[in-house]
Chains A and B, each alone.
Chain A
Amino acid sequence: MTTSGIKVVEGAQLPSLGLTVATPNPLYVQGNFNAQGSDVGNNETVNARPASRVGDSINILFTAWSDANSTLGVGSRKAGDTTVNAAILSGIVPSGKGYYSGGVENFPRFLEDWGGKTLTYNGSMVAMFNSLIATAPWGSADVYSPPARNWAFDQNYIDATKLPPGTPEVRAVIKSTWETVAAGSVY
C-alpha cells in the first residue's frame, strides 16, 4: 500500500546545535549523516553534532540510492561505505506469530546490497513502539544483503548537555526526610 515517507539527503554537515528529524512516517536517510572528512568511517564523534532520527521506521540508504530501482532486484541497488552519527528512535515489527523481527542488527532497516561494504554507526538505538506503516515482517529474499557493521554507542550521550534536540526526558520526584521547623529554631 502507498503511504508517505520522508527522505533526508545531504545530511553530512548539520547545524551547530544539532538536528532532530521526527516523523510518524517511515524515515529514510541517504548518504553520510553527521560525519565529514576524517570522521567518516570511524567511531570518533568529537566533531559530531547532537542528532537523532525519529520515525515509524528508520532506513539507511547509500548516497547513490535511486528511487527508480526500489522495485528491482537487490542486485540493482548497490550500497557503499556509509557513516551515520545519530540516535535512532523508531518502531519495529516485533517477533511473534512465526515471524522474527530481524534483531537489533536490523533495527535500522536496509534495502540495498551492502555486501563487502561497511556501515559505520555511532549513536543509540531505542525501540519505541510497533511500526504502524512499515509493517512487513523482516526476512524476505531480494531485500538486502547486510553490511559489515562498525557500530558503537556515542559517548556524547552520557553528557545530558550533548543530547539531541527534543530528546525525551524522564524526571522523578524523590521522597526524602523532612521535619517541621519550630519557630525561633536556629540551625
Chain B
Amino acid sequence: MRHHSGLALILVFGCAAIIAPSECSADSLSIGTRNEIIPENGTVIYTVAKTGVNEFTFLPPPGWKLAVDAKANTLTWTSPDYRSMVRLKISDTDGDALPRINADELRQTVTQESESSKIIAETPCYTSGSSGIAFDSERTVDGKFQVNSRIAFIPVTGGIIQITLTTPNEEFKSRQMDLSRFLNSFRVVKLKAV
C-alpha cells in the first residue's frame, strides 16, 4: 500500500547535482523529501537521506529543526524549545554484509560521550527489519543539569545507523514518543551500484 510520488531533493551536500543523487560521490549525503500516502492518514512527507550505499526514509519529530553535518553523515533535529535532540548518524561500511556490532565497544562509545556518562539500561532494539542494541545513559552537565540519552546502534546492509535521543532527565519518558515514531517510520533500502 505504499505509494511513492515525487522525490524532491531540497538539500544536497557533497555534490553538485541536485536531482541526480546517484551521480554523487560515494561519500556524499543527500537529503530530500518524499510524499507517501498512508491509509487513513493521507499524504505524509517523509525525509529521505541517501548515502552512496543506502537510502533511508523516516519521519522526524514534527516541528523540530534540522541541522546537517554532511562530512560526518549526521543529521540532528532540535526540539522547538531547544531542550531535546534526535541525532541520526550513518556509518557506511564496505560490502553487502550486515556488519557485526560489538556490545562492549558500543558501551565504550556511549560512556566516552562524557566523563560522567553512566549506562542505566541496555536493551535490544528494532527498526526496518533489523535488530541492534540500545543504551539508556545519564550524565550531568555543568555539574547540575541531569541529561538522559537513548542511543540505538542498528546494523543494516552496508552500514550501521546510530540514533540518539538526548533530553533533560524530566522529559526523558515523554520524549521517547518522538524516538518511537522515528524508529517506527524508519526504512532502509540498499541502493544499486552505479
Interface residues of A (CB under 8 A from B): 1-2, 71-75, 93, 97-100, 102, 105-106, 113, 115, 135-146
Q: Are B40 and A99 in contact (CB under 8 A)?
A: no
Q: Are B1 and A74 in contact (CB under 8 A)?
A: yes
| Cα separation A136 to B62 with both chains bound (whole Å) | 14
A interface secondary structure, majority: loop
Q: Are B177 and A93 in contact (CB under 8 A)?
A: yes
Count residues of B near A (Cβ-Cβ below 8 Å): 29
Q: Are A2 and B125 in contact (CB under 8 A)?
A: yes
Q: List 15 A-B contacts (CB under 8 A).
A: A2-B123, A73-B2, A74-B1, A74-B2, A97-B177, A98-B62, A113-B1, A136-B177, A136-B183, A139-B59, A140-B185, A141-B46, A142-B2, A142-B187, A145-B39
Q: Are A140 and B184 in contact (CB under 8 A)?
A: yes
Q: Which of B40, B61, B125, B134 has the most CB of A within 10 A?
A: B40
Q: Are A106 and B40 in contact (CB under 8 A)?
A: yes
Q: Chain B residue with minimal CB distance to A106?
A: B40
When the two chains form the complex, which single residue of B46, B124, B176 contacts A135, counting CB atoms closer than 8 Å? B176
Within 8 A of A (CB), among B41-98: 41, 44, 46, 59, 61-63
| Cα separation A99 to B180 with both chains bound (whole Å) | 12
Q: Which of B1, B59, B129, B183 has the most CB of A within 10 A?
A: B1
Q: Chain A residue with minimal CB distance to B128?
A: A71
* Chain A residues in 8 Å Cβ range of B178: 97
When the two chains form the complex, which single residue of B40, B123, B177 contacts A137, counting CB atoms closer than 8 Å? B177
Q: What distance in Å separates the Cβ of A54 from its nearest Cβ neighbour in chain B?
A: 22
| Cα separation A35 to B178 with both chains bound (whole Å) | 38
Q: What distance in Å separates the Cβ of B157 from its nearest Cβ neighbour in chain A?
A: 14
Q: Are B125 and A99 in contact (CB under 8 A)?
A: no
Indicate whether A143 sits within 8 Å of B184 (C-beta atoms), given known contacts A2-B125, A98-B62: yes
Q: Chain B residue with minimal CB distance to A115?
A: B1
When the two chains form the complex, which single residue of B41, B125, B185, B187 contacts A1, counting CB atoms closer than 8 Å? B125
Q: Chain B residue with minimal CB distance to A1?
A: B123
Q: Chain B residue with minimal CB distance to A103?
A: B40
Task: Supply 9 further A-B pairs (C-beta < 8 A) apart from A1-B125, A2-B125, A73-B2.
Answer: A2-B124, A97-B178, A98-B61, A135-B177, A136-B181, A137-B184, A141-B1, A143-B184, A145-B1
Q: Are B36 and A141 in contact (CB under 8 A)?
A: yes
| Cα separation A146 to B180 with both chains bound (whole Å) | 22
Q: Are A141 and B180 in contact (CB under 8 A)?
A: no
The 3 lowest CB-CB distance pairs between A and B, nearest first, are A98-B62, A136-B180, A140-B185
* Chain B residues in 8 Å Cβ range of A72: 129
| Cα separation A75 to B183 with both chains bound (whole Å) | 19
Indicate whether A137 sits within 8 Å of B39 (C-beta atoms), given known contacts A1-B125, A72-B129, A113-B1: no
Question: Residue B172 at the A interface, CB < 8 A?
Answer: no
* Chain A residues in 8 Å Cβ range of B125: 1-2
Q: Chain B residue with minimal CB distance to A134?
A: B180
Question: Residue B17 at the A interface, CB < 8 A?
Answer: no
Q: Chain A residue with minimal CB distance to B121?
A: A1
* Chain A residues in 8 Å Cβ range of B46: 141
